[in-house]
A and B are shown apart, each in its own frame.
Chain A
Amino acid sequence: MFDDLGLILVLKDLNVPKILMLTHLGNSLRGITKYLEYVDTVMISTDLAYEEIAYILNNTPKPLVLFTFGLVPLMYSRRTLLTNYALNAKTPIPKKITSHINEKYFHIVENDYGTVFYTGKYFLNKEADKYPNVYAEYYNPLFLSDEEIKMVIDNNYTNIDTFSFLLDKKTMYKLKEED
């Protein structure tokens, strides 16, 4: 699994299934179909609503990977944001913290490659088993305990704080229409 398009050229002669994790760039059937000319399958973006995912999976020329469960990565920075914060605040440098803006929470993790912001709750696509053409369902167990992982495998989310992220409502981008 990879997301850098350069690896398509590097790995082209390698005889293993190649899964392109388009993350936020895999938002349309047309785009995904184009990328499928180069790889075995693609992971659909988590930026989509239920009906958008359904449209893609109902019409895709090849089965696709569906992000079904896990913390959703929201932002990837090359900067070491937690280190910079700690140096400025003169506090010990954390490698992981939880933060929030109002009622929206984030898990923030830093390593040598930079900083990633994740959602505070675990994304869960409850419709995952209803779609056709699913190559695989992607489950990201980041920060789950062993016990919680076992519960997820058993499809038991009782004690895990899940949410639907952007599934219930399409995103918007224009605040008003031009006259």
Chain B
Amino acid sequence: MELLAPVGRIENVRFAFFYGADAIYLGGRDFSLRANAKNFSLDEIKEAVTIAHGLGKKVYVAVNIVFHDEDFPNLEDYLKILDSIGVDAIIASDITVVSLVKALNLKFEVHLSTQASVLNSDAARFWQNLGVKRIVLAREASREDIKQIKDDTGLDLEVFIHGAMCTSFSGKCVLSNYMTNRDANRGGCAQICRWNFEINEKPDLTITPKDLNMVPFIEDMINLGVTSFKIEGRMRSIYYIATVILVYRRLIDKIKAKTLTEKEATYYLNILNRCANRDSTPQFYDKLPGVNEQYFAGRDEVSNKDFLGLVLEYDEKTNLIKMEQRNYFKVGDVVQFFGPNTETFEMTVTELYDEEKRPITVARHPQMIVYMRVIRKVNYLDMMRVKIFDLIK
């Protein structure tokens, strides 16, 4: 069973693995949806694979656009290079890509993208016959769909457990094409589903879905035999991916150890919703989404500034940390530290120093280096955030 995390740039690879991902997925500079993320050069993909394999973990590369004929030059060479680099799988939705991998006898697996919107066993078998080893199910898959497909085909199934939703069946939406000429199925989606649609003399129609979270059903999905739990978000920040990965890592480990409490589940859900700045619900798993699974006109979104700093060094003699500031904070603020090997704790900021170790009262400049006295050991790449929720007691 695998926890699969998104990375949008090479800098995020270490964070994803450090915070508990078993595998990562990323996009190259070509052929991947999220065309306007920074994405990975071939050298960076190679570096990511080296890091991953050194940790016994995996890398999947998205080659998941729906191709027009003008997009095919360089595809074959690209796939061969990915194979030589040693990526573990590609994620594809176009039958041309799936067939080409088979024809070229490449070593990596093919995982079928959610763009193919597979929701039944026959469709899964169609792709299985073409050599696909894993299906990333449509986000509309219910519990019954997942069970049926698993029972009928035995295929590895990858299911989204967290992150942004499409309003439409993935791969079947061209609102962006219509409104802006930006091709949604080649990575140019302008997210028209998050705009307001006017209806004369009536409240605007909105079709924005809330985000997905599967916190209440992780145990059930483990029992169904889901192979991989996928987090959405290649364009998200390191704070977001670290927080989300760590929460689900802890959830999964506690479920396996049979130690998860309802209080903990609620706490984790609050943390998840806060870091995304959006509400989230299980969406299609247990029911058809209704009124409570969408946003409506009048919703106001204000970005929070919870992520305060990234720990770079800890001196156990002085209890001073060296930290890169990520948002404004000051002496007197109550903060929390968290990390994969650090039990979350809170403290009040009492001593703060600049890079020259001169006392300051405010860390105001983006990414400035500060030193701060802490009350407990922290680790490299742990993070500091604003205290919003009380810790579980």
List residues of A whose CB falls within 8 A of some B CB: 4-10, 23-25, 27-31, 34-35, 47-48, 52, 55-56, 72, 74-85, 87-89, 91, 97-101, 104, 106, 108, 117, 119, 165-166, 169-175, 178
| Cβ A91 vs Cβ B202 within 8 A | yes
| Cβ B197 vs Cβ A74 within 8 A | no
| Cβ A30 vs Cβ B181 within 8 A | no
Determine if B380 is an interface residue (Cβ-Cβ < 8 Å).
no
CB contact under 8 A between A171 and B207, given known A4-B123, A75-B167, A80-B288 = no
| Cβ B175 vs Cβ A117 within 8 A | yes
A85 CA / B289 CA spacing, docked (Å): 12
| Cβ A28 vs Cβ B288 within 8 A | no
Determine if B339 is an interface residue (Cβ-Cβ < 8 Å).
no
A99 CA / B294 CA spacing, docked (Å): 18
Determine if B185 is an interface residue (Cβ-Cβ < 8 Å).
yes
| Cβ B182 vs Cβ A173 within 8 A | yes
List residues of B whose CB falls within 8 A of some A CB: 29, 35-36, 39, 65-72, 93-96, 99, 116, 120-127, 140, 167-169, 171-175, 177-179, 181-183, 185-188, 192-193, 195-199, 202-203, 205-207, 209, 284, 288-291, 293-294, 296
| Cβ A79 vs Cβ B209 within 8 A | yes
Chain A interface secondary structure, helix, strand, loop or mixed?
Answer: mixed
| Cβ A97 vs Cβ B205 within 8 A | yes
| Cβ A81 vs Cβ B207 within 8 A | yes
| Cβ B69 vs Cβ A56 within 8 A | yes
Chain B contacts for A85, CB-based, 8 A: 205-206, 296
The 5 closest A-B pairs by CB, nearest first: A6-B122, A173-B188, A6-B123, A171-B183, A173-B186
A27 CA / B116 CA spacing, docked (Å): 14
| Cβ A75 vs Cβ B123 within 8 A | no
| Cβ A101 vs Cβ B183 within 8 A | no
| Cβ B127 vs Cβ A5 within 8 A | yes
Most chain B C-beta atoms within 10 Å of own C-beta, residue among A23, A34, A81, A173:
A173
A175 CA / B182 CA spacing, docked (Å): 9
17 sample A-B contacts, Cβ–Cβ < 8 Å, listed by A number? A6-B123, A6-B124, A9-B126, A23-B172, A25-B185, A34-B96, A34-B99, A74-B174, A75-B172, A75-B174, A76-B169, A77-B207, A78-B169, A79-B293, A81-B294, A85-B296, A99-B197
**B126 CB contact (under 8 Å) in A5, A91, A104:** A5
CB contact under 8 A between A9 and B205, given known A31-B96, A76-B173 = no
Least distance between B210 CB and chain A CB atoms (Å): 11
